[in-house]
Amino acid sequence: MPLMDKPLEELRSYLPDREEPEDFDAFWTETLAEARRHDRPAVFTPYDACLTEVNVFDVSFPGFGGDPVAGWLLVPASATGPLPCVVGFLGYGGGRGFPYEWLTWPSAGYAHLLMDTRGQGGSLQPGATGDPHGSAGSSSPGMVTRGIQDPADYYYRRVFTDAVRAVDAARSHPSVDPERIVIAGGSQGGGIALAASALADGVTAALVDQPSLCHFRRALDVVEGNAYREIWTYLRTHRDSAEQVFRTLSYFDGVNFAARAHVPALFSVALMDDICPPSTVFAAYNHWAGPRSIRVWPWNRHEGGGYFQDLEQLRFLRALRSDGPTGLDNGPLHTA
């Protein structure tokens, strides 16, 4: 297919105004304070995954409203001290699946906590976390429009809160160095990663691939696929609700989180992506407040760099690791 968005030269300088509510920071401060009042500790139950070189734990931690959220924690069996930990988030529809699907990071010497996404896991890998909260209004099929009439009721308020609490859970495990946390995710997981990078404690670096949930107005102007299609379908029916919908989405826009994230980040973008259009990715990338670099995949669609990008990420984190006891280092990066 031909390129479906702006030319790369324009994308590199694309810096749209942020649509941000005045109480954005207060909204998230209050949301996370309420979530942390459910201070039940995370539970790590040893799990027999038939793996000899990786120790696996079935994780349960309190997320939004204290709801139990599942995950996997994988730790190299040879670890002798606290390790940097990659906290990962999943694409739309995916669940945590099986431990042997997630061996890259422990094979490279990192602990890896993978968060299950509440209410999902029915269309890709199986999930293990429900979403017990209903929404006051109607929605289109899927998750993206649940509670979209009110930021306090919106589905991703719960998911992003879960993500911050996943970082809290990872930092509480004795095999994890609480000051060496890497956030990682692609597509929906990339949008969650943007939020967690800005909101969670102890984050040292971020890996963000083809993030969704960014620059919503532009996304809806350019594509109608996957999650954005659900919003378009909702607006097509609720013709008088557009401004309220976009107000709600402004509390969850990855561009606004990117402007609050100060750690080194590696992004990736695919120029033929018709699910998460390149201009929305560059909107978040160009607003990122910390050191940043981006890997551009000119000929790919939403699959992006795939295993090639995995290698880029491994190299990126290796470059950030020092020889000293502090592990990941926040030194400057070259901007692509």
Listed by start position, the domains of the chain span 8-320
Q: Would the pLDDT of 178 be above 50?
A: yes
Residue whose tokens read 């000119």: 298
278 neighbors 5 (Cβ within 8 angstroms): yes
pLDDT digits (tens, 9 = 90+) for 116-171: 999 998 777 889 899 988 777 777 778 999 999 999 999 999 999 999 999 999 99
- pLDDT value at residue 257: 98
Q: Which residues of 251-289 are buried (b: 16+ CB within 10 A; e: fewer)?
A: bbbbbbbbbbbebbbbbbbbbbbbbbbbbbbbbbbbbbe
- Closest residue by Cα to residue 304 from 213, 212, 210: 210
**Percent of the chain at pLDDT exceeding 90:** 87
- pLDDT band at residue 10 under the 50/70/90 scheme: very high
Per residue in 277-319, pLDDT tens?
999 999 999 999 999 999 999 999 999 999 999 999 999 999 9
pLDDT of residue 2: 60
**Token digits of residue 274:** 């018709």
The whole-number pLDDT of residue 243 equals 96
Q: Exposed, middle or buried, 12 (CB in 10 Å: 0-12/13-18/19+)?
A: middle
* Homologous superfamily in CATH for domain 8-320: Alpha/Beta hydrolase fold, catalytic domain (3.40.50.1820)
pLDDT at position 39, please? 85
Per-residue model confidence (pLDDT) at position 1: 52
pTM, whole model, 2 decimals? Answer: 0.94
Which amino acid does the sequence have at 20? E
Strands (E), the chain: 43-47, 54-62, 68-76, 83-89, 111-115, 176-186, 203-209, 265-270, 292-297
The share of the chain scoring above pLDDT 70, in percent, equals 95
pLDDT of residue 106 exceeding 70, the answer is yes
pLDDT, tens digit (0-9, with 9 covering 90-100), for 183-233: 999 999 999 999 999 999 999 999 999 999 999 999 999 987 778 999 999
Query: For residue range 34-47, what is the model confidence (pLDDT) as tens digits?
Result: 999 998 999 999 99
Average pLDDT over residues 227-240: 93
What is the set of active-site residues? 187, 273, 302
Cα Dmax for the chain: 59
